[in-house]
């Protein structure tokens, strides 16, 4: 299969180089437009924060090599093509298909099993289609990659559970509470680390969000981002009495909620369990307050520990996922070759059909009065049989070539058939 992928990823380059060589939506469009006119093949450009990859394919002219692609890249960005080359990897044919399937299935991602890459591959294909760079080969390849990515995500445990700290915090909260529309979320502090967690908690649509901070301006700023109300830091006890979920991210050097304070608060609380996500370092809540019933307290270490467990769980499914990829690569290749042979076989059939009809027509004119309807049918049947038997050999040989991939990846028999029978697209 005439397919090649050039790329660089977090495995081969530093983030600095990826930032310089990555494509933004506008530069991606520009690159695709140029590729359309300069590279003379099908092109899909996959550019994410972790990788930049050019997928090149097509049945016609030879595909660009390291040098041509480096020069092309150098024409878009002011970088020396020779500087890029050492960081580039290249896969061809079978390996290129396998690479794409692994990439879209997130087996080659920084966070194994992450879900964004499949969507990014889809966007890359759509951009290539819009620019007219994607042809039949890359269209078929990327669509197949999408299907296999979905299968791997659903049929293996590779994408099981969340692995980001903020999502894990929400997972812990969801282990305690059924519904959130009657819950109060309290945010203590305004640490950057808490922003994403707060965003996830706000997505649960709690009844109210209360924000407190030693600095009222910072509290106000946080409250504005999540539609919360500001509570003065002096009223921390009252805030804890009213809250079901607490997100704490202060920069305090000592715990702000110790046992004495918690006992004071608990005596006045009329609510059930309180879930505390304490992602501050040093910790804001005394760790011994966790009892799994009145208070479920999770600090950054707890979240990290679960994260590592989840990642290890995902890794244990890697073997199954890789086997699925290998199987699908074979299936795609066979399918692609069948599609490739299809038009040639159809053309061959059509031409023989036309010739048979012409010869039989002439013969029937000559034998006009000498043969009856039954004999006519027998003669036509004999010619049809001859045609089928004649074509059976070449078509079977083509099918065999489809299943047995030649080491060079070339399809000499198909080309030979085209030339022998003068079949032109």
Residue 111 beta carbon to another protein: minimum distance, rounded to whole angstroms: 17
# residues contacting another protein (CB under 8 A)? 33
Residue 208 beta carbon to another protein: minimum distance, rounded to whole angstroms: 18
Query: Contact between 419 and another protein (CB under 8 A)?
Result: no
Taking CB under 8 A as the binding criterion, the range among 131-139, 156-164, 191-199, 372-380 that sits at the site for another protein is 156-164
- 75: Cα separation from own chain's centroid: 28
Taking CB under 8 A as the binding criterion, the range among 17-25, 76-84, 166-174, 336-344 that sits at the site for another protein is 166-174
Query: Contact between 266 and another protein (CB under 8 A)?
Result: no
Token reading at 279? 């992602």
Query: Contact between 254 and another protein (CB under 8 A)?
Result: no
Query: Contact between 159 and another protein (CB under 8 A)?
Result: no
Taking CB under 8 A as the binding criterion, the range among 6-14, 77-85, 232-240, 308-316 that sits at the site for another protein is 308-316
Query: Contact between 309 and another protein (CB under 8 A)?
Result: yes
Query: Contact between 156 and another protein (CB under 8 A)?
Result: yes
Q: Which is nearer to another protein, 1 or 324 (CB)?
A: 324
Residue 296 beta carbon to another protein: minimum distance, rounded to whole angstroms: 5
Residue 305 beta carbon to another protein: minimum distance, rounded to whole angstroms: 8
Q: Which is nearer to another protein, 139 or 160 (CB)?
A: 160
Q: What are phi and psi of 296, to 5 degrees?
A: -110, 110
Closest CA to 390 of 380, 382, 399, 378: 382
Residue 327 beta carbon to another protein: minimum distance, rounded to whole angstroms: 14
Contact residue for another protein among 38, 155, 351, 353 (CB under 8 A): 155
Contact residue for another protein among 52, 306, 329, 417 (CB under 8 A): 306
- 213: Cα separation from own chain's centroid: 40
Taking CB under 8 A as the binding criterion, the range among 37-45, 47-55, 165-173, 257-265 that sits at the site for another protein is 165-173
SS (H, E, C) the chain: CCEEEEEEECCCCCHHHHHHHCCCHHHHHHHHHHHHHHCCCEEEEEECCCEEEEEEECCCCCCCCHHHHHHHHHHHCCCCHHHHHHHCEEEEHHHHHHHHHHHHCCCCCCCCCCCHHHHHHHHHHHHHHHCCCCCHHHHHHHHHHHHHHHHHHHHCCCCCCCCCHHHHHHHHHHHHCCCCCCCEEEEECCCCCHHHHHHHHHCCCCCEEEEECCCHHHHHHHHHHHCCEECCHHHHHHHHHHCCEEEECCCCCCCCECHHHHHHHHHHCCCCCEEEEECCCCCCECHHHCCCCCEEEEEHHHHHHHHHHHHHHHHCCHHHHHHHHHHHHHHHHHHHHHHHHHHHHHHHHHHHHHHHHHHHHHHHHHCCCCCCHHHHHHHHHHHHHHHHHHHHHHHHHHHHHHHCCCCCCCCHHHHHHHHHCCCCC
Query: Contact between 178 and another protein (CB under 8 A)?
Result: yes
Contact residue for another protein among 86, 234, 270, 374 (CB under 8 A): 270
Yes or no: say if 352 and 391 are a contact pair by the CB < 8 Å rule: yes
Residue 272 beta carbon to another protein: minimum distance, rounded to whole angstroms: 7
Catalytic residue, from 41, 49, 226, 296: name it. Answer: 49
Per-residue binding letters, 315-354, with another protein (x by CB under 8 A): -xx-xx----------------------------------
Contact residue for another protein among 168, 210, 245, 279 (CB under 8 A): 168
Alpha-carbon gap, residue 62 to 24, rounded angstroms = 28
Taking CB under 8 A as the binding criterion, the range among 20-28, 76-84, 203-211, 301-309 that sits at the site for another protein is 301-309
Taking CB under 8 A as the binding criterion, the range among 48-56, 118-126, 171-179, 327-335 that sits at the site for another protein is 171-179
Alpha-carbon gap, residue 336 to 60, rounded angstroms = 15
Residues ≥6 apart with Cβ < 8 Å to 258:
286
Q: Which is nearer to another protein, 139 or 167 (CB)?
A: 167
User: Is 49 part of the annotated catalytic residue set?
Assistant: yes
Per-residue binding letters, 276-295, with another protein (x by CB under 8 A): --------------xxxxx-
Question: Using CB under 8 A as the criterion, which residues of the chain lie in contact with another protein when the complex forms?
Answer: 155-157, 160-161, 168, 171-172, 174-179, 270, 272-273, 290-294, 296, 298, 302, 305-306, 309-310, 316-317, 319-320
Catalytic residue numbers read 49
């Amino acid at each position: 299969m005439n397919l090649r992928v050039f790329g660089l990823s977090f495995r081969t380059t530093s983030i600095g180089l990826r930032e310089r060589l990555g494509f933004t939506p506008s530069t991606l469009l520009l690159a695709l437009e140029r590729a359309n006119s300069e590279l003379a093949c099908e092109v899909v450009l996959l550019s994410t924060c972790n990788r930049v990859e050019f997928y090149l394919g097509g049945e016609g002219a030879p595909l660009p090599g390291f040098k041509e692609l480096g020069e092309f890249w150098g024409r878009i960005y002011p970088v020396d093509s020779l500087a890029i080359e050492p960081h580039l990897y290249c896969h061809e044919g079978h390996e290129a298909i396998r690479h794409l399937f692994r990439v879209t299935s997130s087996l080659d991602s920084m966070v194994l099993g992450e879900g964004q890459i499949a969507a990014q591959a889809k966007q890359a294909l759509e951009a290539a289609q819009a620019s007219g760079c994607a042809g039949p080969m890359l269209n078929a390849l990327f669509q197949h990659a999408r299907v296999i990515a979905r299968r791997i995500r659903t049929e293996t445990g590779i994408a099981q559970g969340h692995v980001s700290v903020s999502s894990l915090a929400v997972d812990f909260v969801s282990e305690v509470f059924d519904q959130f529309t009657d819950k109060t979320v309290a945010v203590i502090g305004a640490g950057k680390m808490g922003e994403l967690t707060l965003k996830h908690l706000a997505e649960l649509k709690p009844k109210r969000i209360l924000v407190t901070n030693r600095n009222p301006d910072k509290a106000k700023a946080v409250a504005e981002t999540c539609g919360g109300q500001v509570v003065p830091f002096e009223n921390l006890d009252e805030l804890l009495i009213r809250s079901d979920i607490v997100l704490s991210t202060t920069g305090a050097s000592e715990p702000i909620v110790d046992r004495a304070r918690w006992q004071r608060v608990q005596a006045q609380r009329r609510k059930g369990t309180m879930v505390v996500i304490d992602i501050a370092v040093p910790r804001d809540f005394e760790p011994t307050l966790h009892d799994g019933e009145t208070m479920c307290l999770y600090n950054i270490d707890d979240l990290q520990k679960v994260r590592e467990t989840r990642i290890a769980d995902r890794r244990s499914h890697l073997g199954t996922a890789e086997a699925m990829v290998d199987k699908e690569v074979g299936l795609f290749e066979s399918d692609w070759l069948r599609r490739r042979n299809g038009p040639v076989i159809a053309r061959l059939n059509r031409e023989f059909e036309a010739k048979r009809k012409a010869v039989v027509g002439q013969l029937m004119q000559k034998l006009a009065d000498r043969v009856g309807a039954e004999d006519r049918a027998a003669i036509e049947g004999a010619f049809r049989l001859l045609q089928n038997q004649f074509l059976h050999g070449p078509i079977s040989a083509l099918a065999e070539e489809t299943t047995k991939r030649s080491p060079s990846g070339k399809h000499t028999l198909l080309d030979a058939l085209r030339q022998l029978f003068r079949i032109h697209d």
